[in-house]
Structures are given as C-alpha cells and as structure tokens.
C-alpha cells in the first residue's frame, strides 16, 4: 500500500507491473548488466521497477535524492548508468544531468504525460508501461550476477559502489527473516528512503516473507502514529532521530499503537531512555548494526538485552559471523578494542571498479567494517568509535573527507578538518574547524554558504570554528581527537 496516493496492490498485481516496466526497458534496449539508475521517492514505481530491472538481469543504481547534481553526476558516470527513472519532483536535477556529461540515453519520468513531454527528453513512465502486456519477463541472469550497486561514501571523499547480487540479497532477506520476529501476517511500515540498504533489504525481506508493506513517500513524524492506527502496523524501522521526532509529535497520545510489536532502529546507538519510552507504549525497539557492504545485517539486540547490556548493538544475526580483531586479524580479548569484521553469504561481491578498495575491505572472506568495538564473552558487540571518522546525522552517513574536499576549494581557507558534534536532534552534526589565510577574513555564514550546491544539505556543516593551527601528528595526520576535546559541542539545533 502506498500512503500518499492510497494505492494498494496484490502480489499478482505487483508482478504484472514489474513485468510491464521490464518490458518497457527491454524495448528501449536495456538488457542484462545494463545499469538503470533510480531518482525516486518511495512509491509503487520504486518497488515494481526494482523487481522489473531484476527480471531483465539489469542492475539498479539507487540514487540519494538529497544529493546535488554534481554528486549525482559522479555516481552515474562511475556506474556507467544508461537509463534514469526519476520522479517529477526532481525535474530540475534531471535537466541538469541531461545537460551534463553522462552516458544516460533513456529517461523515464514518473509524474504525468504532459510533464514528461515538457522536459523535451523524457518518456512518461506510465505511458511506457501501459504499452506493454504484463506477460512474464525472464532472463538467464541470477545467482552471483549483479542486482544493484549502492553507493557509500569513502574516506577519499568520493563514494564507492557496493555491488550486491541476487544471491547476497536473498541471503540478507533470509538472515533478517530468520533473526527478527517477522511473520507473514505482518504489516511493515517503510519510512526510510529506499535508496538506503536499511530500507531496501527489509522491504525485500517482507515481500520474500509474504508480508504487507506500507510505504510512506517520505518520513513525516506527525503522520506516523495516525498511520499506525489506520493500517494496524505491526513492525517497522526508524533511526533514533526519527523515533524522537515521532514522540515529539504527540501522536502516540491520541492514536492506538497496540498492534505494533517492534521496530528496528540503527545507524546510531539507541539511548536506553528512548527504548524505555517506547516500552511504555508496548513497542519493543530492536537495535540493529549493519552496513551497506553487508546488505544490512551484522548484529541485532532485543529490547531486554539492550537494557541489560546498555551500549551494546547485540550479537551477530543468524547465518552471520562477527569477530572483533586486532591489526593482525586475530581475535581481541573480551573488553579490548578492535575492528569489527563480518562474514556471511550476504556481504557484497565487491566495490564497483575498485579492486584496490575491495582487497582492502574483504580479506579471507571477512568484511572489515572500519568500525572499532569491543566484544564480551557472550558475543555482544559494543561499538566504540569509527575508524573512518564517519559522522551519522539523522541516520545519514557523512564522511569528513567529503566536506574537507569542498572546503579545500575555498580561496580564503588554508586548511580544514571536519568532526562530528553531538546533537540532541540529529544524533550528530558536522562541524568544520578551519584556518583562514593570512590577511584574509571570512565569516561562519560565508563558509557554510560556500558549501551550498556543492554538498547535500545534510552534509553541510552546522558549525564553523576558527583556529590558528590544526593539530597534526609527526606524520601529518590530523589529530581529530584533540579537536573533539577542544570543541566538544553540542551542536546548535
């Protein structure tokens, strides 16, 4: 069921719609291995096109619609995408991409026929699908062939494409359904955008299980609790910031939440106080830890264990192995800090066109997460820090190098370092620590404005601090630990 437009589809209807978009793409020359990018909000078109592309043996490239055209263009070019399916909300971005340098030759616009014609380059999605019969579309592609390439930011400032196959997604679905309390009768609320693995994998798992999925076009905290009552929601997933916003809306005070058994929450630690607040509503919060590179699953903790083992993200998912290792790849002793490594049939095949990064990340079948943690004698993992200095703001991953790369272009700044500051609203917010060139002057607002249009809004620093010298170690590495001590926050709301 799609909330905003009130459309409901049976599994048979979804299958027929997936066949139609598959046939429409095939008639335009799309075949096995071709990359088809999605710039779509949550909706029926996203789900059916995902399955339609899979039926063709083509490869989906989900795009984060919060990115600016410059960022989208890099991903499209890196992936070698030849087709783009986009929502009418993104006409401006699509026009900028059409005018730019990409390999895109097929454009399908979700909206209305007149709007598609007005672009001068796009076909109307519905018209293209209605021209097809809905008869089954099949291909010989399966198993270890690519299903999607999902881009995740890298420490170099440029995103890397995590390649997942039909097999890795199937394994992720099985792993989640075997570990979580999922039921065929569930009515799962999909609030996160489907360009996230934390949305795409659970949605796939629900359809694999035979459950109902209720799609919110985008997260609206004031609409969640009324929707829970109206649709008798039983489960869902929300990052901690979303759970806070939902409570702040007050909807739980006037709407029936008794049908909800649990909600998963991840992307950042879930405070015990928040778990307790939802427990008062009869809703269990299951804290999850995972990565794009693992197709989602790594660790999961129940609400009872979360209270007993405060700060832990839990033990490994079923069909998943998790170890915490030292620099030599040996298991650390309980309580000692090491790097989290994950093994399972659901870890990515590779980074797209990055054999160097793949070899660094996947060693002897184990995926090295870059996250530092301890592990206790019972196998419960406690995340300590992020080896790659990643910032998680409102559930979105932001790497400082991306922002630092933009700030390096500012003519009045000699150097910069970006750290995360604690934020009650977003979990973390980016802060830029900058050094101004001698004889120059610049304000915080000017630095922030310089980032506009070059970075997605959630990546733009909310705080700018000025410093005479950025501390470095003898090899030149920035000592961000010292910067965090000097600028502890919190970030302004």
Are residues 16 and 105 both part of a single domain? yes
**Domain CATH for 348:** 3.40.50.12780
Are residues 230 and 349 both part of a single domain? yes
Identify the residue whose tokens are 């915080």.
444
> Residue 412 pLDDT more than 80?
yes
Are residues 408 and 371 both part of a single domain? no
Judge whether 468 lies within some domain.
yes
**pLDDT for 322-338, tens place per residue?**
999 999 999 999 999 89
CB 274 within 8 A of CB 244: yes
Q: Which of 116, 115, 20 is nearest to 107 (CA)?
A: 116
Judge whether 3 lies within some domain.
no
Judge whether 135 lies within some domain.
yes
221-225: long-range contacts (C-beta < 8 A, 24 or more apart)? 221/245, 221/246, 221/248, 221/249, 221/251, 222/249, 222/251, 223/3, 224/189, 224/191, 224/249, 224/251, 225/249, 225/251, 225/252, 225/254, 225/255, 225/257
Are residues 376 and 396 both part of a single domain? no
**pLDDT for 259-270, tens place per residue?**
999 999 987 778
Give the model's pLDDT for residue 253. Answer: 96
Judge whether 2 lies within some domain.
no
pLDDT category, 311, cuts 50, 70, 90? confident
Range of the domain at 455: 391-486
DSSP alpha helix (H) spans, 160-315: 166-179, 197-209, 221-231, 240-249, 272-280, 303-308
Are residues 319 and 426 both part of a single domain? no
Are residues 66 and 117 both part of a single domain? yes
Q: Which of 29, 27, 86, 25 is nearest to 55 (CA)?
A: 25
Are residues 357 and 215 both part of a single domain? yes
φ/ψ of 455, rounded to 5, equals -135, 150
Judge whether 22 lies within some domain.
yes
Are residues 213 and 356 both part of a single domain? yes
Are residues 58 and 172 both part of a single domain? no
**Domain CATH for 75:** 3.40.50.980
Last-in-domain residue among 341, 358, 386:
386
> Residue 475 pLDDT more than 60?
no
Q: State the chain's mean pLDDT as an integer.
A: 93
**pLDDT for 376-400, tens place per residue?**
999 999 987 667 678 889 988 787 8
Are residues 235 and 305 both part of a single domain? yes
Last-in-domain residue among 333, 366, 386:
386
Are residues 207 and 317 both part of a single domain? yes
Judge whether 5 lies within some domain.
no
Judge whether 406 lies within some domain.
yes
- The domain total for the chain is 3
pLDDT category, 155, cuts 50, 70, 90? very low
Q: Which of 349, 345, 343 is nearest to 164 (CA)?
A: 349
Last-in-domain residue among 353, 386, 419:
386
Are residues 403 and 287 both part of a single domain? no
């Amino acid at each position: 069921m799609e909330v905003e437009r009130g459309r409901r589809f049976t599994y048979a209807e979804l299958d027929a719609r997936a066949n139609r978009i598959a046939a429409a793409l095939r008639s335009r020359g799309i075949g096995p291995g071709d990359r088809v990018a999605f710039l779509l909000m949550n909706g029926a078109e996203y789900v059916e096109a995902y399955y339609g592309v899979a039926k063709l043996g083509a490869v989906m490239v989900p795009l984060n619609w919060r990115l600016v055209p410059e960022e989208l263009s890099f991903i499209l070019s890196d992936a070698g995408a030849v087709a783009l399916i986009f929502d009418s909300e993104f006409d401006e971005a699509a026009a900028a991409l059409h005018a730019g340098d990409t390999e895109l030759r097929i454009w399908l616009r979700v909206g209305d026929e007149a709007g598609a014609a007005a672009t001068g380059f796009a076909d109307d999605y519905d018209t293209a699908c209605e021209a097809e019969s809905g008869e089954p579309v099949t291909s010989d592609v399966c198993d270890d062939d690519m299903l999607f390439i999902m881009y995740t930011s890298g420490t170099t400032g440029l995103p890397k494409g995590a390649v997942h196959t039909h097999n890795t997604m199937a394994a992720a679905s099985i792993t989640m359904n075997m570990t979580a309390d999922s039921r065929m009768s569930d009515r799962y609320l999909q609030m996160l955008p489907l360009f996230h693995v934390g949305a795409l994998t659970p949605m796939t798992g629900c359809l694999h299980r035979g459950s109902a999925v209720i799609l919110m076009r985008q997260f609206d905290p004031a609409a969640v609790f009324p929707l829970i009552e109206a649709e008798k929601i039983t489960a869902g997933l929300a990052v901690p910031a979303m759970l806070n916003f939902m409570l702040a809306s007050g909807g739980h005070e006037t709407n029936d939440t008794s049908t909800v058994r649990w909600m998963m929450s991840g992307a950042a630690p879930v405070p015990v106080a928040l778990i307790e607040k939802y427990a008062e509503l009869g809703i269990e919060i299951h804290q999850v830890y995972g990565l794009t590179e693992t197709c989602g699953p790594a660790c999961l903790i129940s609400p009872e264990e979360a209270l007993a083992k405060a700060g832990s993200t839990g033990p490994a998912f079923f069909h998943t192995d998790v170890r915490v290792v030292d620099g030599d790849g040996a298991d650390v002793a309980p309580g000692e800090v090491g790097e989290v490594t994950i093994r399972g049939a659901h870890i990515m095949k590779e980074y797209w066109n990055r054999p160097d990064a793949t070899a660094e990340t996947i060693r002897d079948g184990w995926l090295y997460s870059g996250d530092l943690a301890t592990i206790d004698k019972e196998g419960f993992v406690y995340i300590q820090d992020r080896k790659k200095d990643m910032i998680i703001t409102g559930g979105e991953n932001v790497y400082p190098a991306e922002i630092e790369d933009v700030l390096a272009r500012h003519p009045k700044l000699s150097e910069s370092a970006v750290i995360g500051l604690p934020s009650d609203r977003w979990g973390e917010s980016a802060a830029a620590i900058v050094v101004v060139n001698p004889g120059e002057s610049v304000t915080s607002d000017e630095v922030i404005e310089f980032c506009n249009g070059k970075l997605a809004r959630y990546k733009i620093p909310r705080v700018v601090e000025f410093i005479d010298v950025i501390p470095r170690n003898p090899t030149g590495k920035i000592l961000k630990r010292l910067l965090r001590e000097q600028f502890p926050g919190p970030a302004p709301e």
